[in-house]
Structure 1
């Protein structure tokens, strides 16, 4: 028994000893320099000493202190390399990424010479290396991809395999010291985001700075440093004072001065700064999660992100404005300490911190705080240093670049443009301020005027970002740019007329595609059924109204003022009275038909409702799907029709809670389980290969049409290239918007999915607490109890449906309709079923639920040529509702003339108007008036009298290619088109751009079209 115990004991001892050895042999990916044992794995020569130090540190409480002399080095072979899979890549391998070394280094005093960082594969291989100068003070965080180094460098996106890491001194003349922390030997990093700065200027040498407006440019910074300013006149100084007063007025608090010391001290204490030889605190980071950590640090405890720091400093600055003299003194002192901490943490001019992409979203509060506190900063001798820091990180020098470098960007207009204006005043030289204001006005005027491929505000009023119309990003620009216009108005630095006019069109277009404030799901990008609203733009519309009109002939812009009265007049009685009484301005009215060709969107408005009709094409993406946003967003542009009352999305039956992401109203889709509906890609912005998607308008009516084709296309984002969906869904869809009705036609509906049904959704109503659970079918009657789920075979005589929001649907084709009134379960769009990833904006919500009324046309599994026809009467009154329910409503005001693969043609008898959707060219059409079309086209023809007609023509092909075949994304080029009419016609007004040819009993019009714009002609016999 004793022998057995002894053997067991020996075995256990041996096992423990082996485990210890294995643990000891575990080589680190990262060294945090928190334990003395970590230094045991570093060798150094006799001219070096290394110790742990708490004098300066990043994450944790200590760093490696290296005291060196000439020809010193430290090195280690006790290291490991992170694979791509082990690296913290937000999008996995979706974007190109490469092995990158990362570390932080602190320098107390500027020193001559450089440090060389070297990597060895084995004793016989050439080294890979780079150098950084020691001409800085404070912290610097360095990211260097191995493919950007010197020596035997690997190719981009390929693994590295080195065994030894070494730091050595080069041209060091005096003994020196640096502190090194958070050393990651190699991790994969997104190739877009290792930024150059004064320490690593060799990065991205082949990258033009205008390609990434976030990336601080050394060249741009030097434009400011090297610029020579002339003395300015007294008149210019007065205008500069006016601009500064206007900027100050945006921050001045009208409250009575008070003692704010206690409140300010509490706020300052959140920084938890330690004032010693330097001001120390938690690492002041940009995006901590992009760097590998052995143990993830705790947010706001182990580190502080710069946007959080900015929010605290903005609070202090606001209290400074309210404070009495005693309060101002205390707040100034605390603010200066915080500023010194900010600079010491590596936020000085010339430092990129490894990367600071999208930095504008994190710096708004900080820029405001520094602007407000200019006087205390100047008294402390820090204004110039802080000003240079801001002009570096905000890339202010771009306004002095050659005009060829000027490229519009909505992110810039949102997060940098207004702050550029403020940063210009963070200096004491008024001559340099004048120089920069001139440059700023020029830069803004040019970029705001751009409406070609470089522009973001397109000719039709759409606001482009990520290669398409994106109101969510436009909102950011609309939030900040009006402040710029009003601040500079009526001065020599005002925005040019062309820039002003182009921006005006973009922001006023928001009121056309919103109702009353909400712009709906169709153009929501990756934010469906969220807070997609223009309501926060109240002060911005007023700013634009008081900025004057674009040609500056009026101090007030009447169109903005009129829009303001309609949108916010009831909320702001005082301003409304001024606009009405002093300027004789009335609220705008918006009924009509509006087309956004660059968004494949049409808006039909009547009374207080709007129908937003949406498609996509080769040039316009369907939606934006991100790794943890809009995960199920495949269908919001599949010919959808969103009906919005003045109550907005929620008040019109749209809510994310329980929403079936398959069933957007109007969409033709393959109904999939959400697990299969979720995209298989981290990023997807699908474009088909079809060019036919758009709308034609005539007076207040219009026709929208698209070829829906999921069988082939491309991904506009991420891994750009060919992409398709396996079901290969196809359809030809049109919506004829005539008066108070929408006539919807679909033909050639097909799919090869043998498991899931193809559907066209009539409606999906969220039943909120204010809506009765009451829908209607002419086949069944009232339906008002949850749990109803039934299919109905339709016919062309009396198949009527009324949803919970008093929208009437008249099915005029023989289809099976399915109606459901029930409780639904779904997933939040910010949550991925398949990966478990979740965007923080989802606030932890994975599953959702709600009560819904839903109706859809069932085309069956794998249809080969299904179709539908139905009419919508939006938001009908009680009288019409009652007539439908009692079978007394008949509508003979229109006729469907043709509905096949070639064309959809409808005639509205009351309007004497034809609508034609020609999906292909044809020389022998058999429809009224039109004999032939050379191109797929959309046409409306209004009979204005016995011998005259009004003709409206669109080729919806945006043609983003120039004559040489070069792609010009976001900028269309002319297309020639011929429309042949039956009979002999002549133009009422001669037009040099239109060629009219008569041949026997036909008349052919030949002309150029562009940008999906409607071209109008009046003809007589």
Structure 2
């Protein structure tokens, strides 16, 4: 300050800069580097000062920190961060002011002493929209951003108040709001789903979920054990979301295809959320501590060294919790178009796309080349025994990664400039972004009691790019063996080949480089990568030994290079009814994969555009992916026919006992033909936010299956006997939400 004039960089709100997003690209980075400090930085500093004040021991330090805080408080209040101000654009401001809430709460006594408390309370009530808590909820769920940026603000603004009947009313309303917000939401609405998905931008989105869970888990913990706590359904739903996240993350990293618009290998879950839920007790309220969540936290927090984690680990260890073993089994996320198989310390994550769920999200400067992430990708996440699993330990780094060859995908191999997303603002319901949909309803997975499962999808690329591209893809999970099938692969693109990628593995050190330099191809049917994952390919494949690949980063578009090895099926240019078959066995040896190739433990009973059916002698299981309603009897076991498309799995427990699982992957948010709009014979790009059906609940789809023989079972509302003779048994499954329904049958 000089001669009454305050100098220095200005404080600005990021959303104001959006007015320039069509004039300057990338607008946010230009504004950020050429002007002052965004509001987030200001409140982050205030929060750090507040924390330092509360930790300070010396009076002189506390006095200095108090002066600094009050000076910043008075300045930002003078600049308009106060009750009733909207800054000209009152949306998405939660990200910019979320650190204000904790800062003001921690300095409650300082603000009260300075006569500023009532003013600060009003400011927090305004920006956290706490008065909205008085509105009675009518539907489950709230926006994930609200959990992330406003929920703690609501609680802080209430706790900042002096005790009064009004404060109690706020707390009761807050508890009700939190309870409804945590319950399973319908359609594509935020935040949490019946299957464990954490939702934002109309899809399972871990990158946003970690922020939302930060608010939800702390709120549940703060209110636990009081009359304001959430109910059992809400509590269990959030717990399910955390359990699902720790299952599809290995160990804590998001799989590439579940990383939203940031497929860079850095996204992670937040272990402390599991600690908050441990201390919040069990969902049914019978136990003060949820030790199951505590065991999860102790495994996930291994290596976490923040001050909070260190204290929390000690506290939870004292409750008798110990690190759980690595999760094992199978998970199908119907609202994420995802299936996950886990054994030992490895996981296999499959991701698809449908007419309800986009396959990839692209923004300007974010995920420029990941178009194929939802084209049936399968990422194997693994590490040497005793080491933590990371993207790098699994053979993935961004340098040199060929975005055309995402493992598991069937795609047209394009020059990078053609693969690069053409991002635009397509309608008034969306921003500048790309989230393309298929027009196919059949895509998703089945899980047989969380042990094994399958996944199938009808792949159809959007007409914005290569709309003639089609394929039928399936995965069949039998313990440590994954059978991968593709049929009906076709398109009319004759300039570039179409390929299915079996693996693409980075050689990140000299040991890996030497492995691939010395690699012996052998019979061309059995392969073992340097990470210990085996591959069986009964059909001809194209192997690229150690080669230097040039690529681009997903965000900045800068050139990268790296050493890679890959294996692909080359279907040629403009293929017609091409196909592939291969099996993947993680955590194996050269001797074991050679023995498997000599005598596979599975049989492909059918592989065409109607159905993919695979039997596994090792697990006494038959897996069915029925893309179309069968016109004739099905081969391979007691399942003879179905009256519609579905996923099914039969495991023979004994000659007279079996476990039958059925799922209808169609989420059925609407029925009938796709709602796509056509222009000149091609589908028009439209945002999901413009679709009226995105708020619809999943509709019921009856699926009737006929079994060979007379079988007895215990039915329920979802599983009913339709007809039975001495030769056949017909059962109806009332499928919904893409979930899997299990029934035990005996002769």
TM-score tier (shorter): 0.7 to 0.9
8 Å contact 1:775–1:801 — kept in the other structure?
no
Paired positions, count: 702
Q: Distance in 1 between matches of 2:452 and 2:568?
A: 26
Aligned pair 1:504/2:224, yes or no?
no
TM-fit CA distance, 1:689: 1.0
8 Å contact 1:406–1:443 — kept in the other structure?
no
8 Å contact 2:105–2:160 — kept in the other structure?
yes
2:483 is aligned, of 731, 736, 743, to 743
Identify the residue that residue 512 of structure 2 maps to in structure 1: 772
Identify the residue that residue 678 of structure 1 maps to in structure 2: 420
Q: Distance in 1 between matches of 2:3 and 2:294?
A: 53
CA distance change for structure 1 residues 405 and 821 in 2, over 3 Å: closer, same or farther?
Answer: same
Structure 1, unaligned runs of 5 or more: 1-272, 713-722, 785-791, 833-845
CA distance change for structure 1 residues 771 and 329 in 2, over 3 Å: closer, same or farther?
Answer: same
Residue-by-residue CA offset, 1:336-363 (whole Å, 9 max, x unaligned): 2322221221222111111142211111
8 Å contact 1:279–1:341 — kept in the other structure?
no
8 Å contact 2:141–2:182 — kept in the other structure?
no
TM-fit CA distance, 1:921: 0.5
8 Å contact 2:11–2:36 — kept in the other structure?
yes
Identify the residue that residue 42 of structure 1 maps to in structure 2: none
8 Å contact 1:631–1:678 — kept in the other structure?
yes
Identify the residue that residue 725 of structure 1 maps to in structure 2: 465
Identify the residue that residue 290 of structure 1 maps to in structure 2: 18
Q: Distance in 2 between matches of 1:478 and 1:855?
A: 39
Identify the residue that residue 289 of structure 2 maps to in structure 1: 556
**Matches for 1:972-983 after TM superposition, within 5 Å:** 972-982=698-708
Identify the residue that residue 606 of structure 1 maps to in structure 2: 343
**Matches for 1:466-865 after TM superposition, within 5 Å:** 466-534=201-269, 537-568=270-301, 583=320, 587-645=324-382, 646-682=388-424, 683-699=433-449, 700-710=451-461, 712=462, 724-726=464-466, 728-769=468-509, 771-774=511-514, 782-783=518-519, 799-813=525-539, 815-831=540-556, 846-865=558-577
Identify the residue that residue 106 of structure 2 maps to in structure 1: 372
1:910 is aligned, of 585, 607, 618, to 618
8 Å contact 2:141–2:191 — kept in the other structure?
no
CA distance change for structure 1 residues 458 and 302 in 2, over 3 Å: closer, same or farther?
Answer: closer
Task: Choose between structure 1 and 2 for higher RCO, CA contacts under 8 A separated by at least 6 residues.
Answer: 2
Residue-by-residue CA offset, 1:950-971 (whole Å, 9 max, x unaligned): 21111111101389x9725473
Q: Distance in 2 between matches of 1:1017 and 1:354?
A: 58
2:657 is aligned, of 927, 948, 954, to 948
**Matches for 1:203-602 after TM superposition, within 5 Å:** 282-287=9-14, 289-291=17-19, 303-321=36-54, 322=56, 324-404=58-138, 407-428=141-162, 430-453=164-187, 454-534=189-269, 537-568=270-301, 583=320, 587-602=324-339
Residue-by-residue CA offset, 1:125-180 (whole Å, 9 max, x unaligned): xxxxxxxxxxxxxxxxxxxxxxxxxxxxxxxxxxxxxxxxxxxxxxxxxxxxxxxx
- TM-score when normalising by structure 2: 0.88
CA distance change for structure 1 residues 957 and 405 in 2, over 3 Å: closer, same or farther?
Answer: closer
**Matches for 1:148-163 after TM superposition, within 5 Å:** none
TM-fit CA distance, 1:471: 0.5
Per mean C-alpha deviation after superposition, the further-off stretch among 572-581 and 414-423 is: 572-581
Residue-by-residue CA offset, 1:834-863 (whole Å, 9 max, x unaligned): xxxxxxxxxxxx222211112211111010
8 Å contact 2:352–2:377 — kept in the other structure?
yes
CA distance change for structure 1 residues 274 and 325 in 2, over 3 Å: closer, same or farther?
Answer: farther
Q: Distance in 1 between matches of 2:113 and 2:193?
A: 46
Describe the SS at the equivalent of 1:697.
strand
Q: Distance in 1 between matches of 2:423 and 2:100?
A: 36
CA distance change for structure 1 residues 300 and 906 in 2, over 3 Å: closer, same or farther?
Answer: closer
TM-fit CA distance, 1:774: 4.6
2:714 is aligned, of 985, 989, 993, to 989
8 Å contact 2:124–2:153 — kept in the other structure?
no
Describe the SS at the equivalent of 1:987.
coil
Describe the SS at the equivalent of 1:746.
strand
Q: Distance in 1 between matches of 2:225 and 2:327?
A: 30
Q: Distance in 1 between matches of 2:452 and 2:669?
A: 27
Per mean C-alpha deviation after superposition, the further-off stretch among 417-426 and 724-733 is: 724-733
Identify the residue that residue 108 of structure 1 maps to in structure 2: none
CA distance change for structure 1 residues 298 and 921 in 2, over 3 Å: closer, same or farther?
Answer: closer
CA distance change for structure 1 residues 301 and 330 in 2, over 3 Å: closer, same or farther?
Answer: farther
TM-fit CA distance, 1:605: 0.7
CA distance change for structure 1 residues 424 and 405 in 2, over 3 Å: closer, same or farther?
Answer: farther
Identify the residue that residue 429 of structure 2 maps to in structure 1: none
8 Å contact 2:291–2:321 — kept in the other structure?
no
Describe the SS at the equivalent of 1:378.
helix
Residue-by-residue CA offset, 1:169-210 (whole Å, 9 max, x unaligned): xxxxxxxxxxxxxxxxxxxxxxxxxxxxxxxxxxxxxxxxxx
CA distance change for structure 1 residues 593 and 407 in 2, over 3 Å: closer, same or farther?
Answer: closer
TM-fit CA distance, 1:591: 1.3
Q: Distance in 1 between matches of 2:298 and 2:8?
A: 50
TM-fit CA distance, 1:429: 5.2
TM-fit CA distance, 1:824: 1.5
Q: Distance in 2 between matches of 1:309 and 1:945?
A: 67
TM-fit CA distance, 1:896: 1.0
Describe the SS at the equivalent of 1:527.
coil
8 Å contact 1:658–1:849 — kept in the other structure?
yes
Q: Distance in 2 between matches of 1:985 and 1:689?
A: 39
8 Å contact 1:950–1:1016 — kept in the other structure?
yes
8 Å contact 1:775–1:802 — kept in the other structure?
no
Describe the SS at the equivalent of 2:281.
coil
Identify the residue that residue 89 of structure 1 maps to in structure 2: none
TM-fit CA distance, 1:775: 5.1
8 Å contact 1:317–1:373 — kept in the other structure?
yes
Q: Distance in 1 between matches of 2:3 and 2:260?
A: 47
CA distance change for structure 1 residues 952 and 292 in 2, over 3 Å: closer, same or farther?
Answer: closer
8 Å contact 1:279–1:337 — kept in the other structure?
no
TM-fit CA distance, 1:561: 1.2
Q: Distance in 1 between matches of 2:113 and 2:303?
A: 47
Per mean C-alpha deviation after superposition, the further-off stretch among 631-640 and 325-334 is: 325-334
TM-fit CA distance, 1:1000: 7.5
TM-fit CA distance, 1:812: 1.3
Q: Distance in 2 between matches of 1:917 and 1:466?
A: 29
8 Å contact 1:279–1:344 — kept in the other structure?
no
Describe the SS at the equivalent of 1:688.
coil
8 Å contact 1:632–1:679 — kept in the other structure?
yes
Identify the residue that residue 144 of structure 1 maps to in structure 2: none
TM-fit CA distance, 1:440: 0.8
CA distance change for structure 1 residues 437 and 931 in 2, over 3 Å: closer, same or farther?
Answer: same
Residue-by-residue CA offset, 1:304-334 (whole Å, 9 max, x unaligned): 3211211222233233221533333333333
Structure 2, unaligned runs of 5 or more: 383-387, 425-432, 676-691
8 Å contact 2:254–2:265 — kept in the other structure?
no
8 Å contact 1:284–1:306 — kept in the other structure?
yes
Q: Distance in 2 between matches of 1:313 and 1:584?
A: 36
